[in-house]
Structure 1
Amino acid sequence: MKLQSFDNIYHIHKKSRVKRWFLFIFIGGIITLFLPWTQNIKVKGNVTSLYQEQRPQQLHSPIPGKIIKWYVKNGDYVKKGDTLLQLSEIKDDYLDPLLVQRTQEQVNAKKGVRNFYEAKVGTVKTQLEALHSARNLKLNQLKIKISQLNNKLTGEEAELTAATNELKLSEDQFARQKKMYDEGLVSLTQFQQRNISYQNAIAKKTSSENKVAQTRQEIINTGIEQNSVIQDYTEKLSKIEGDRFQNMGQIEGSDGEIAKLENQVANYKARQGLYFIIASQDGQIVQLNKTGIGEVLKDGENIGTIVPTAVDYAVEIFIKPVDLPLVKEGQRVMCIFDGFPAIVFSGWPNSSYGTFAGKVVAVESNINANGLFKALVIEDKNEKRWPPKIKMGGGVQGIAILNDVPIWYELWRNINGFPPDYYEVKNESKGYEKTK
């Protein structure tokens, strides 16, 4: 009896196809070994921005104050210049509501004092000019007087010379008359007349000498008076000049105080503008850590974070030190963003789905605290655009594309522990534009 189960289990009488399948698979494997394989480096990173001002930025209170009104809440989108919250003053030095006005009044008062001193300087200048004129007039008068006395002295000296000559002549005549009188040649009357003439000549000379001496004394006295006038006016001018410099010093001091007060006015006005915290750029408000009304903020205290809406996205990837020589500027990197489905064929990146191309624009030369080197990757605008829904800080897996080699070479390289092939990247122009 022929059993059906025996025929289903044992196929001895049937022709085997194992050899054909083995040969088929072997030939296929050989062909596969010669297929191209793209070497790559797998790295991890996250989404960031190429520019510092486009990254999430903390909001800080520029001054200490108390919150009196909120204009936003978490998740709100704001424009540049929008008011986020309003503060009120808590420091005693700034509580006066008329602080700016009162300080401005102090400035005006100081300006009035300065104007007073400026007028005083003008008056002192007029006094100086008057004293200079009076001094010059007095000195000219004394100079004229001295000139007149010198002329008088010249005339008197001439008279003295004439009297001296006349006396000498009278003396000779008197001597001859006396001799003739002694010899009895002239009468006593004649001798007495000659004697009187001689005495008159002596008196005339003495009078002339007294006049010359008196005139010389007047010249000396006038010179002393001239020196006294110079000394007197010099003291007066010095005193007034000192007053002028003192007033000018007061003006300079007033200018300094005015500048200081005006600086305070400007600071007070600027501080009043800081009571309203405004958005520095377009973005979304997140992570607000102050709630309610009446909370007190310290100087520079963090309030929350603003995430810019206009961002030139980039990816920062972290590279192991052993792989660092293989990554250069211009290197092609395939990015896989978290939240976006992707099918990746490691050796055939062009056949992968859900990957986005980028290129390395910078490689940092300093190692990070995590023991890895950081590189920045931007979007390659010549290929498929990056998804618009990516967010700052999102995770990214990167595949740095290297050289194309056969599969057998890649297997041999991995078995022997050799690094991927090193090759130079031709850098292209870095003419990327910033998002407006």
Structure 2
Amino acid sequence: MPSSTQVETELTPLPALQSPPKRRMVRYRPTEALGTRFPAMHLVRSSWFCRVIARTTAFLMVVFLLAAIYVPWQQTSRCEGVVTARNPNERRQVFLSTAKGIIAEQKPGLQEGSHVAAGETIMVLDTLAKDQIELIQSQQKQLEDKKSFTRSQLEFAVTQVENTEESGRQLIRATQAEIDAAHAKWESAEAEVEAQLARLAQAEFDVNAYEPLAGKTVSIQKYQQAINDEIVEAKKLTRAERAKDEAANFLEAKRRDLDSKRQEIDKKVSEARQKVDEYRNKLADIEKESQDISVKLGELERLRIVSPTAGRVQSILGQVGKAVDVKDMLFELIPDTDDLWVELSVRGMDQPLIQVGDKVRLQFEGWPAIQFVGWPSVAKGTFGGVVNAINPADDGTGNFKIFVGPDPDDPAKEKWPDRRYLRQGVRANAWVILDSVPLGFEIWRQLNGFPPTRASAGPDGGKSKDVKAPKLK
């Protein structure tokens, strides 16, 4: 077994072999001092490459932890959509044939992409039912004559109602005057009866007073005269009561006559009003029939296809001489407009997180862009937008439509492209800007599959944003 002196001699490099120290990936030979004091530890130590990897990994872990705590991450909701016009009247319009016939005329030089002005005639149709037009026009004239005759009958019936009511009122007034006179006569007869009763009572009192004194202090002639007066007053009372009864019967007869006349007048007025209602219903039926004929005639005569607004024509399917049927497609018109917005489709899970006024980053198809989802401020080639409206109901598939317009706060260099490049129908990717959270929280959320957070989400949370309603031209 070699001694320690021999080992040290073997491990110590020879003077002739000494050279300047070199940096190697792996040091197989220890230094003189380390080899002398700890020869075994020096032989099993880690290589320089492993130590560099370990230090780099530890540094990156520290940097990652600091970034997870302090680096912000902007949460977004990604969605897709297309560019469309803000005003529905300026969106794609499909023109259909309004009648069965052939295309008689067409704008000279009309082709795909041709520009047309507002009010310019694009096509003219020629109907195959010319005899039908004449027949409908004849029916329309007959209905007009019938309408005039029915209207005159209605006016006459209304006049009859007014005359019947007026004559009835006059008859009622005359009968009421007779009733008033009869009532006055009855009151006079009643007053006469009351007066006669008083006179009869006085005569009876005189007879009763004279009877015990007859032949004594009162002469027989005076007593007899009192009896005769009593008989006369009794007869007068009988005549007065008879006159009162006759006046009462006459008054009652007049009242019955008034009721009978009122019923007769009401019956005549009701019959006259029934005539008025009958003529009005008849006139309404004629009006409805006339409107239906006017609609049919308008459909047959609406053969000139005029552009409602300036725009460009595409998808021309109708050519001169081609037979078309009702509702056959002729062409499409894309109106000229600079007022565009993007119609986006948002998942139902993200819809509660989006509010009117939220900022949006847009990437239009055909425009190169570099989008950093968590840091939209450093994105290149994207454009700013703001949520202007959110549909209150889904589109039938669980997704919701939101409408994004240009952001007025964006700098001029980020304004949306000109309409020559940004046209209706261009697809767009969008990122709706939500809350800013730490990077570590976002990684934890993504790993657990949780939805984005929104501090102002909910019906009562957060402050409402005042966004001007879009103006329609």
TM bucket normalised to smaller: 0.5 to 0.7
Establish whether residue 345 from structure 1 lines up as the match of residue 382 from structure 2: no
Q: Structure 1 residue 367: deviation in Å? A: 2.6
CA deviations on 1:318-367 (whole Å, 9 max, x unpaired) are 22222222112222211111111111111001110111121222222323
* Aligned pairs (5 A) from 1:230-249: none
Q: Percent identity?
A: 27
CA RMSD, Structure 1 to Structure 2 (Å): 4.1
CA deviations on 1:92-115 (whole Å, 9 max, x unpaired) are 43576x997x9999899x69x98x
Establish whether residue 385 from structure 1 lines up as the match of residue 412 from structure 2: no
**Which 10-residue stretch deviates more, 21-30 or 415-424?**
21-30
Establish whether residue 41 from structure 1 lines up as the match of residue 77 from structure 2: yes
CA deviations on 1:287-346 (whole Å, 9 max, x unpaired) are 1122x3222222232212111111521212222222222112222211111111111111
CA deviations on 1:177-231 (whole Å, 9 max, x unpaired) are xxxxxxxxxxxxxxxxxxxxxxxxxxxxxxxxxxxxxxxxxxxxxxxxxxxxxxx
* Aligned pairs (5 A) from 1:64-143: 64-71=100-107, 72-94=110-132
CA deviations on 1:76-98 (whole Å, 9 max, x unpaired) are 111111111111121043576x9
Instruction: Summarize the Cα distance change of 1:35–1:288 in structure 2 as closer, same or farther, 3 Å threshold.
Output: same
Instruction: Summarize the Cα distance change of 1:430–1:10 in structure 2 as closer, same or farther, 3 Å threshold.
Output: closer
Instruction: Summarize the Cα distance change of 1:265–1:366 in structure 2 as closer, same or farther, 3 Å threshold.
Output: closer
How far, CA to CA, are the matches of 1:324 and 1:259 in structure 2?
51
Select the residue among 295, 309, 330 that pairs with 1:303: 330
Instruction: Summarize the Cα distance change of 1:264–1:415 in structure 2 as closer, same or farther, 3 Å threshold.
Output: closer
How far, CA to CA, are the matches of 1:260 and 1:391 in structure 2?
45
Instruction: Summarize the Cα distance change of 1:99–1:30 in structure 2 as closer, same or farther, 3 Å threshold.
Output: closer
Instruction: Summarize the Cα distance change of 1:261–1:432 in structure 2 as closer, same or farther, 3 Å threshold.
Output: closer
Q: Could you tell me which residue of structure 2 aligns to residue 363 of structure 1?
A: 390
8 Å Cα contact 1:38/1:347 also seen in 2: yes
- Which letter does structure 2 place at the counterpart of 1:90? L
- Which letter does structure 2 place at the counterpart of 1:329? V
Select the residue among 328, 332, 346 that pairs with 2:355: 328
8 Å Cα contact 1:310/1:435 also seen in 2: no
How far, CA to CA, are the matches of 1:10 and 1:81 in structure 2?
84
How far, CA to CA, are the matches of 1:20 and 1:75 in structure 2?
66
Q: Could you tell me which residue of structure 1 aligns to residue 311 of structure 2?
A: 283
Q: Could you tell me which residue of structure 1 aligns to residue 95 of structure 2?
A: 59
Instruction: Summarize the Cα distance change of 1:287–1:39 in structure 2 as closer, same or farther, 3 Å threshold.
Output: same
TM-score, with structure 1 as normaliser: 0.56
SS at match of 2:350: helix
| Structure 1 runs of 4+ with >4 Å offset | 7-11, 13-17, 102-108, 258-273
What number of residue pairs does the alignment pair up?
292
Kindly indicate whether structure 1 or structure 2 has the higher relative contact order, using CA contacts under 8 Å at least 6 residues apart.
Answer: 1
How far, CA to CA, are the matches of 1:95 and 1:321 in structure 2?
54
How far, CA to CA, are the matches of 1:22 and 1:50 in structure 2?
54
* Aligned pairs (5 A) from 1:128-167: none
How far, CA to CA, are the matches of 1:103 and 1:318 in structure 2?
52
Q: Could you tell me which residue of structure 1 aligns to residue 195 of structure 2?
A: none
Q: Could you tell me which residue of structure 2 aligns to residue 434 of structure 1?
A: 471
Establish whether residue 29 from structure 1 lines up as the match of residue 61 from structure 2: no
8 Å Cα contact 1:284/1:307 also seen in 2: yes
Instruction: Summarize the Cα distance change of 1:279–1:423 in structure 2 as closer, same or farther, 3 Å threshold.
Output: same
CA deviations on 1:116-145 (whole Å, 9 max, x unpaired) are x9xxx9xxxxxxxxxxxxxxxxxxxxxxxx
Q: Could you tell me which residue of structure 1 aligns to residue 442 of structure 2?
A: 410
Q: Structure 1 residue 272: deviation in Å? A: 7.8
Unaligned runs of 5+ in 2: 1-15, 30-46, 157-279, 457-461
Establish whether residue 401 from structure 1 lines up as the match of residue 438 from structure 2: no
How far, CA to CA, are the matches of 2:96 and 2:360 in structure 1?
37
Establish whether residue 293 from structure 1 lines up as the match of residue 320 from structure 2: yes
Unaligned runs of 5+ in 1: 122-251
8 Å Cα contact 2:361/2:430 also seen in 1: yes
